[in-house]
Chain A
Amino acid sequence: MARLITLLESGHPDAQREGAELFPHTGRALVIGITGPPGAGKSTLVDQLIAEYRRRDLSVGVLAVDPSSPFTRGALLGDRVRLRSFVDDDHVFVRSMANRGHMGGMSLATPAAIRVLDAMGMDRVIVETVGVGQSEVEIMNAVDCTVVVEVPGMGDSIQTMKAGVMEIADQFVVNKADRDGASRIAQEIRRLLRERGVGRRDNLVVSTVASTGVGVDELVTAIETFLAAQRASGELERRRVRQLHTELERHVSQKAQHRVMAGLHSKVTEDILNALQHRTRDPESIAAALIDESLNVDANSPVGARRAGR
């Protein structure tokens, strides 16, 4: 299974087939995303969440995503440093992933990797995102419960919270509650939630000290309450279908682009480059013509003809 994640990450031609075989065996795990600014204590919190879920006799898979260097594609994957040893425990599986240049808190293979852990029989899968960019928005498209971690001392008020976070968070955590300003931040989040008319659940904002474990029990209870309500209302399933729909569209656009691009290089002739140079034709019109042409050519190819014949 560990090797399978490697394969899915690599974009190897076999990955699609493996992913297809896996898919019917997925959908059982509940998936929790942890996002928040760098150094907020996400990994420390994940360690505590693993321990708490194990106390509740549930198995846990973890994907910890860190950024790749855009220049060398190398990455430092250090989230494991915060984990205690769960070696003797087959019910814990932790995998570090580099985002491999994908912007948005996860790597392209993260949804597929979640499914691997799901198919392994993990009851819960926790994804720790890269704490920068628009990671919240993307993680929300891959998990059943988005947990946003805030900490005191990151600026004076919650105004510094990134735009959109209020809307997508299913659960707030104010970590480092041992520090000054933590309760003020929690209050402010609650106030903002009230203003927006959301946040009826009274444990929607939980304070924790991840380094000691204070509040973690309450946090897990809050997450589980949310997930149970989502399931009962049918929203869990509806959200998953929306997510899969989005993923489908992403694959369509990627594959379509791939196929059109494949033949494009040979079609950009000297004539076209001349036309561009002398400004007799513009790039966008040429692109439209080339795409029309390549789709027409496809209509005469065996695959295209079969499709057209239906």
Chain B
Amino acid sequence: MDAPIRILLTKPTHDCHDRGVRYLMRVLRDAGFEVVFTNFLVSDDVLSAALQEDVDVIGISSSAGGHMPVFEELMDGLREREMTDVLVIGGGIIADSDAVRLREMGVGEIFGPGGSPADIEAFIRQHVRRQPGVAVR
């Protein structure tokens, strides 16, 4: 039987605009994902959680700014730990210019506040890239 896709969703602690994230969590759960959620926005915390939870996807939601260094450190950290098969996506309020740079860094996609959860789900299913056989799917 196929194992469910595992995703780590995280949003900054002092960020109260989390209705979107909560909604997304439920949509992904209802789509058959196992959604691990935390409220860290320090790249080391996200990295170690992703490692221990062995997730296929990391989703970071930001609407309070300050996300660029977090993404940067996260992408570096994933490379260092040879976890480049983990798909990273972002969401929330992220400027277009930032989004361009993030995609250059290897972030899979950035979804704006208007982004539909169905699109996010479809994107993840298409782009999850963990090798088969280890986590069977």
Kindly state whether residue B78 has any CB partner on chain A within 8 Å.
no
Kindly state whether residue B87 has any CB partner on chain A within 8 Å.
no
Check if B35 sits within 8 Å of A85, measured CB to CB.
no
Tell me what chain B mostly uses at the interface: helix, strand, loop, or mixed. mixed
Which residues of A (25-83) have their CB < 8 Å from a CB of B? 68-69, 72-78, 80-81, 83
Knowing A6-B134, A6-B135, A95-B52, the reply to whether A73 touches B38 (Cβ < 8 A) is no
Knowing A73-B4, A80-B37, A81-B39, the reply to whether A94 touches B52 (Cβ < 8 A) is yes
Report A113 CB to chain B, min CB distance, Å.
11
Which of B42-50, B64-72, B99-107 is found at the contact surface with chain A? B42-50
Which residues of A (65-119) have their CB < 8 Å from a CB of B? 68-69, 72-78, 80-81, 83, 85, 87-88, 93-96, 98
Check if B31 sits within 8 Å of A72, measured CB to CB.
yes
Docked Cα-Cα span, A177 to B84, in Å, equals 46
Check if B48 sits within 8 Å of A87, measured CB to CB.
yes
Docked Cα-Cα span, A93 to B48, in Å, equals 9
Kindly state whether residue A9 has any CB partner on chain B within 8 Å.
yes
Closest to A74 in B: B29
Check if A75 sits within 8 Å of B54, measured CB to CB.
no
Kindly state whether residue A7 has any CB partner on chain B within 8 Å.
yes
Chain A neighbourhood of B37, CB < 8 A: 76-78, 80-81
Chain B neighbourhood of A11, CB < 8 A: 1
A interface residues, Cβ below 8 angstroms from B: 2-3, 5-7, 9-12, 68-69, 72-78, 80-81, 83, 85, 87-88, 93-96, 98
B interface residues, Cβ below 8 angstroms from A: 1, 3-4, 6, 25-26, 28-40, 42, 44-45, 47-49, 51-54, 133-136
Nearest 3 pairs of A and B residues by beta carbon? A74-B29, A10-B3, A2-B54
29 CB < 8 A contacts A-B: A2-B51, A6-B6, A6-B134, A6-B135, A10-B1, A10-B135, A11-B1, A12-B133, A12-B136, A68-B34, A69-B30, A73-B4, A74-B29, A74-B30, A76-B37, A77-B34, A77-B35, A77-B37, A78-B36, A80-B36, A80-B37, A80-B53, A85-B40, A85-B42, A87-B45, A88-B44, A96-B34, A96-B53, A98-B34
